[in-house]
Amino acid sequence: MLLERYMTQATAHAESAPSSGQERRTRLTQTIDSLVQLRQDVVVAYCQLVGVSSFEARDLEEHSVDADALRRFCQIMVDYTAMGHFEVYQRIMEGKERRRAVQEVAAEVYPAIAETTDFLVDFNDKYDGFDGTGEGADHLAGDLSRLGEVIAVRGEYEDRLLDALKR
């Protein structure tokens, strides 16, 4: 459903009348702001999911993951991943970005971003039907730990690319 929505939006956007440079710049700024906000939502939802209320308390708190909370988190994560791909990265990978500085940064960081996308999608697929029991529950703690690392790494690479796009 989400994928279809983004595909429809991307197609409609591509078929719309050409816009001025200022309109494209405004649209890009809004997209970047939305992507950064959605990433922040992912980080907050991740912290809530794993039960970390603060950096200081992270080793003291015990927490179990609720299946419904995990599904809600995964939806936010998928929205973030799809937005990045269909609203930002796809344009660059299709060669539609003409600015040399953006192309150079993208060539450097996009392979790592794509790798994190694969991990996020795989995590979502693995835990899509999670009910809190069974083999999934045995692996969840380790997968969540790795997921936190992946989200952090993705943010670093993404920031480099978004900074280049803002110039």
In a domain, 46, yes or no: yes
Q: Does 105 fall in a domain?
A: yes
User: Is residue 135 in a domain?
Assistant: yes
The CATH number of whichever domain residue 106 belongs to comes to 1.20.120.1370
Is-above-0.75 flag for pTM? yes
Rounded CA-CA distance 144/138 in Å is 11
Measured CA to CA, the distance from residue 116 to residue 157 in angstroms comes to 10
The answer to whether 97 and 28 have CB atoms below 8 angstroms apart is no
Residues 52-70 have pLDDT tens digits of 765 565 555 555 788 899 9
152 vs 166: CA distance, rounded Å: 21
DSSP three-state, residue 165: helix
CA angle 28, 32, 34 (to 5 degrees): 115
Residue 1 domain-assigned (yes or no): no
The mean pLDDT value of the chain amounts to 84
Per-residue pLDDT of 100-130, as tens digits, reads 999 999 999 999 999 999 999 999 999 988 8
Q: Which domain does 116 fall in, by range? A: 22-166
* Per-residue pLDDT tens digits for 72-85: 999 999 999 999 99
Question: Is there a domain that residue 8 lies in?
Answer: no
Count of domains observed in the chain: 1
For residue 63, being part of any structural domain is answered with yes
